[in-house]
Amino acid sequence: MQYKKAEKEHVTQIYQLVQDTIQAVYPKYYPQRIVSFFSELHSKEAIQADIESASVNVLLLDHRLIGTGTVKENHITRLFVYPEFHNNGYGSLIMQCLEKEIAVKYDTALLDASLCAVCFYEHKDYQTVSHHVIITEDGYSLVYDVMEKMLTSYVDASDKAKGVY
């Protein structure tokens, strides 16, 4: 297993992972119009831009990309694991790595949690700080939570000062 920064050649694989996971999981929680909204939000262009800014990480298992997570400052986004690999600890592993990366500079991690992910994040000690609704142009409501976690246990003060984690 290998966890590393995504490279530009990962764009298509990450896009496929995200789209496949959205199509497999989100319809259980949202109407199709909102599923389409999520798909459009995570476009290939958005993923490519995040890779270019060194914000995207990938998890490889036997050289197959099975998971991804993005971190911008102290905000975790686009955490996805292929559904056939759910409940094996891969999402938790990606979360730990993203949190360690954030903890070098920040005391808290933030994320926007879709309905299908709230319980996962609650089990990782995230707490909802606000509820949000986006109304799409055609009148559908996209409901999500903004969640936060204190990260002080990840990095001690001496490591933080050295930039070591």
Pairing of strands 75-81, 108-114: parallel
Q: Return the number of other C-beta atoms located less than 10 Å from residue 143's C-beta.
A: 13
Q: Provide the 3-class DSSP secondary structure of residue 82.
A: coil
Average pLDDT over residues 129-140: 90
pLDDT higher than 90, residue 161: no
End-to-end CA distance of the chain: 20
Report the share of the chain in percent with pLDDT over 90.
82
pLDDT single digits (tens) 84-132:
999 999 999 999 999 999 999 999 999 999 999 999 999 999 999 999 9
- pLDDT for the residue 140: 87
- Output the CA torsion 102→108→109→114 (10° steps): 180
pLDDT higher than 80, residue 162: no
More confident residue, 51 or 142: 51
- pLDDT for the residue 45: 97
Report the share of the chain in percent with pLDDT over 70.
92
Closest of 47, 61, 58 to residue 11, by C-alpha: 47
Give this prediction's pTM. Answer: 0.87
The domain in which residue 72 lies consists of 2-162
pLDDT single digits (tens) 51-85:
999 999 999 999 999 999 999 999 999 999 999 99
Q: How many domains does the chain have?
A: 1
Residue with tokens 């290998």: 2
Which residues, in sequence order, are bridge partners of residue 71?
76
- CATH number of 61's domain: 3.40.630.30
pLDDT higher than 70, residue 157: no
Q: Kindly report the CA angle at 34 between 79 and 85, in degrees rounded to 5?
A: 35
